């Protein structure tokens, strides 16, 4: 009887261990594919610095999903690991992104510059959301695209999708569009620097205020030298700080809508997801100087690896045939939004001069 009771007591723990083992086995092929893709993206970026590693990770994911040789694996054995990367590694990357931000650097910009950056983000957000509604994009697509275009690309889309409870597959189109337009900015903005009569600092500010992803900002700004790059990165990271209040506002609005719709209290998603709280905690850690340079360097590398794996996972959900079948409406909307934020960013850069 004692042996039977001990076996029964051990069974729950044994079952949990078996479930964890099976879960790891299911995730392993997809996570291994992510590791290879991230290594490839970094390798290509090292050879061609003008191509951001994060953009390459998305492109490799799209290629893997649409090339006959790997498409079957993406839809089969790799699928659990790719979904895990697209959701959980994205959140880990957002948390670690906070280590790149110091409130001291942002405060050094001055109140006028801060006000202009906030105005650009809010106007770009509202304008892009309105365009999404005007072009009748489905579901949360207008909100996700507005968040990605106005703040920090795919990372912002992942944060907003979490607070909205958006399905993984519904983030695919916004990520594809923000990646496409950010890549377009890398090639287009440097060509406009001299025709618009911009000096290096003003050009850097324009890039930081209007390009979506941090890696895309670096790729575009570095074409004008280190002075432009420094100006661009500070303004871009100031935009990134606005991720938390905008996500919190979306969480409050979501809660208000549910209360109004149900007529009473219920179960709600958190106003600010836990990983966004972690993002804010990392900003505080960096600002207070509690993280030594080696930790910051390691955190930066881990952030790029996590986000690269997440973007490969999200890219692998893109089916080119489905995008083409959806028609040019979403693409035209995204290009209009890209032109809007480029114009807003240029106006702000001129006013900061």
Q: What is the mean pLDDT of residues 30-45?
A: 96
Give the residue, 114 or 326, on which the prediction is more confident: 114
The yes-or-no verdict on residue 112 having pLDDT over 60 is yes
pLDDT for residue 249: 87
Q: Which residues contact 75 (CB under 8 A, 6 or more apart)?
A: 65
pLDDT in tens, 42-82: 999 999 988 888 889 988 998 999 998 899 999 899 999 99
Q: Which tokens go with 281?
A: 């905690």
Nearest to 253 by CA among 172, 165, 122, 337: 165
Q: What is the mean pLDDT of residues 100-107?
A: 86
Euclidean distance between CA atoms 327 and 349, whole angstroms: 35
Mean pLDDT of all residues in the chain? Answer: 87
pLDDT for residue 8: 47
By percentage, how much of the chain surpasses pLDDT 90? 46
Q: What is the mean pLDDT of residues 170-174?
A: 86
Span of 8-22, 66-80, 337-351 with lowest mean pLDDT: 8-22
Q: Which tokens go with 298?
A: 């390691």
pLDDT for residue 267: 56
The yes-or-no verdict on residue 162 having pLDDT over 70 is yes
The yes-or-no verdict on residue 339 having pLDDT over 70 is yes
Confidence band, pLDDT 50/70/90 cuts, at residue 266: low
Q: Which residues contact 73 (CB under 8 A, 6 or more apart)?
A: 29, 33, 64
| Dihedral of alpha carbons 185, 191, 197, 200, sign | positive
The yes-or-no verdict on residue 1 having pLDDT over 60 is no
pLDDT in tens, 210-249: 998 888 898 889 888 888 988 998 999 899 989 889 988 8
pLDDT in tens, 277-326: 888 899 999 999 998 999 999 999 999 999 899 989 888 887 777 667 66
The yes-or-no verdict on residue 341 having pLDDT over 70 is yes
The yes-or-no verdict on residue 252 having pLDDT over 90 is no
Nearest to 234 by CA among 201, 259, 268: 201
Q: With 0-12 CB in 10 A as exposed, 13-18 as middle and 19+ as buried, what is 130?
A: middle
Span of 37-46, 169-178, 270-279 with lowest mean pLDDT: 270-279
The yes-or-no verdict on residue 259 having pLDDT over 70 is no
The yes-or-no verdict on residue 129 having pLDDT over 70 is yes
Instruction: Give the burial string for 269-296 (b: 16+ CB within 10 Å, else e).
Output: eebbbebbebbbebbebbbeeebeeeee
pLDDT for residue 147: 94
Count of all residues that appear for the chain in the document = 353
Cβ atoms 311, 175 nearer than 8 A: yes
pLDDT for residue 277: 86
Q: Which residues contact 248 (CB under 8 A, 6 or more apart)?
A: 271, 272, 276
């Amino acid at each position: 009887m004692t042996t039977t009771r001990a076996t029964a007591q051990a069974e729950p723990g044994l079952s949990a261990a078996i479930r964890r083992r099976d879960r790891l086995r299911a995730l392993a092929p997809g996570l291994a594919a992510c590791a290879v893709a991230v290594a490839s993206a970094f390798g290509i970026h090292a050879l061609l610095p003008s191509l951001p590693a994060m953009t390459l990770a998305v492109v490799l994911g799209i290629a893997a999903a649409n090339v006959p040789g790997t498409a079957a694996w993406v839809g089969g054995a790799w699928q659990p690991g790719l979904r895990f990367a697209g959701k959980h590694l994205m959140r880990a990357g957002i948390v670690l992104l906070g280590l790149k931000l110091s409130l001291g650097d942002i405060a050094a910009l001055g109140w006028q510059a801060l006000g202009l950056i906030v105005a650009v983000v809010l106007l770009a957000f509202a304008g892009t959301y309105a365009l999404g509604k005007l072009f009748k994009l489905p579901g949360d697509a207008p909100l996700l695209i507005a968040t990605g275009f106005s703040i920090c690309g795919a990372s912002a889309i992942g944060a907003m999708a979490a607070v909205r409870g958006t399905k993984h597959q519904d983030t695919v189109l916004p990520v594809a569009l923000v990646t496409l337009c950010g890549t377009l900015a890398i090639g287009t903005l440097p060509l406009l620097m001299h025709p618009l009569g911009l000096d290096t600092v003003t050009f850097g500010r324009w890039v930081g205020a209007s390009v979506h992803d941090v890696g895309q900002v670096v790729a575009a700004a570095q074409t004008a030298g280190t002075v432009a790059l420094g100006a661009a990165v500070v303004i871009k990271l100031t935009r990134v700080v606005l991720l938390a209040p905008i996500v919190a506002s979306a969480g409050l609005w979501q809660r208000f809508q549910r209360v109004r719709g149900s007529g009473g209290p219920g179960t709600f998603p958190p106003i600010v997801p836990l990983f966004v709280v972690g993002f804010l905690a990392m900003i505080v850690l960096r600002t207070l100087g509690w993280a030594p340079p080696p930790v910051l360097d390691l955190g930066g590398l881990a952030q790029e690896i996590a986000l690269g794996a997440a973007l490969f996972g999200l890219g692998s959900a893109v089916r080119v045939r489905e995008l083409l079948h959806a028609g040019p409406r979403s693409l035209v909307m995204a290009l209009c939004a890209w032109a809007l934020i480029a114009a807003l960013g240029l106006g702000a850069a001129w006013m900061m001069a």
